[in-house]
Amino acid sequence: MATSDPDRLQAHLQALAQREAEALVEYKQVNDQAETVRARAIAGELERIARRRRELMLAMPRET
């Protein structure tokens, strides 16, 4: 993916946001059920999503 393509970056950010929302729902469900191993795995995925989102946001062209 070319990091200079704003439309592709935006689409990737939207896909990450969707996966993050799904993971948050799943995290709440398994955390409520005391499934701590799965909850930790999902928390790790949420951290990776947040890190990737920050990387993509930094790659977005700045409006001047």
> pLDDT confidence of 4, banded at 50, 70, 90?
low
Give me the long-range contacts of 41-47 (CB less than 8 A, separation at least 24). 46/20
Residues 6+ apart with CB under 8 A from 2: 8
pTM for this one? Answer: 0.56
Q: What is the pLDDT of residues 7-54, one digit of tens each?
A: 888 899 999 999 999 988 888 887 677 677 778 888 899 999 999 999
> pLDDT confidence of 3, banded at 50, 70, 90?
low
Residue the block writes with tokens 């200079």: 4
- Whose CA is closest to 16, among 59, 31, 34, 63? 59
Residues 6+ apart with CB under 8 A from 53: 13, 16, 17, 20
